[in-house]
Amino acid sequence: MIRERINKRAGLIAKLEEFQKIDLNALGEAEPIPLTKEIILKGVLKCCRRDFESVFWRHKASGKVNQHAPNVKIRQMYFYICKKLVHSSFKETGKVTNGGKLYQVYDHSNVIHAVRAHENLIEFYKAEKKFSDSVIQYLRL
């Protein structure tokens, strides 16, 4: 009889402890999702209101990359943010994937040039810095 009461009380205590656990997701204090290059790419494209194909389009016959100025700035911003938030190598940053599939490979020198060009852009133009910072804030939410 005493053993039954002890077991029943232990069961009730276990249920009470389960109810008292706080759901961190409900409070907004869950662990942040680690940033990957794919998440950064989706965030940059969403903030710039562009699709993947228009920004990373490459001519099939000649292999020339889309050099339309807004698309170049978006690629530069993507490489800059990847370098700043993911801390991967330039060679690894140059591998652009879409949906888990390797889409394009940029040389490390192209990535270095893009990062430096974007750093110069945000240094001299306040609007570009503000937009770049807003994209970074969007990604960190």
Assessment of whether the complete model's pTM goes beyond 0.75:
no
Determine the pLDDT at residue 44. Answer: 85
> Which of 72-77's residues contact partners 24+ apart within 8 Å by CB, and which partners?
73/118, 73/121, 73/128, 74/44, 74/45, 74/48, 74/50, 75/114, 76/114, 76/115, 76/117, 76/118, 76/121, 77/44, 77/48, 77/118, 77/132, 77/135
Distance CA 124, CA 138 (A): 22
Is the pLDDT assigned to residue 33 strictly greater than 70? no
The count of other CB atoms within 10 Å of the CB of residue 56 is 21
Domain boundaries, the chain: 34-140
Q: How confident is the model at residue 49 (pLDDT cuts 50, 70, 90)?
A: confident
- Percentage of the chain lying above the pLDDT 90 cut: 8
Q: Specify the CATH superfamily of domain 34-140.
A: DnaA protein, C-terminal DNA-binding domain (1.10.1750.10)
Check residues 68 and 130 and name the one with the higher pLDDT.
130
Q: Which of 45-59, 65-79, 118-132 has the highest mean pLDDT?
A: 118-132
Check residues 50 and 63 and name the one with the higher pLDDT.
50
Give the 3-state secondary structure of residue 17: helix
Determine the pLDDT at residue 48. Answer: 83
Check residues 7 and 20 and name the one with the higher pLDDT.
7
- Percentage of the chain lying above the pLDDT 70 cut: 87
User: What's the average model confidence in pLDDT over 3-17?
Assistant: 80
The count of other CB atoms within 10 Å of the CB of residue 83 is 19
Determine the pLDDT at residue 117. Answer: 92
pLDDT, tens digit (0-9, with 9 covering 90-100), for 102-135 = 777 788 888 899 999 999 998 899 888 888 888 8
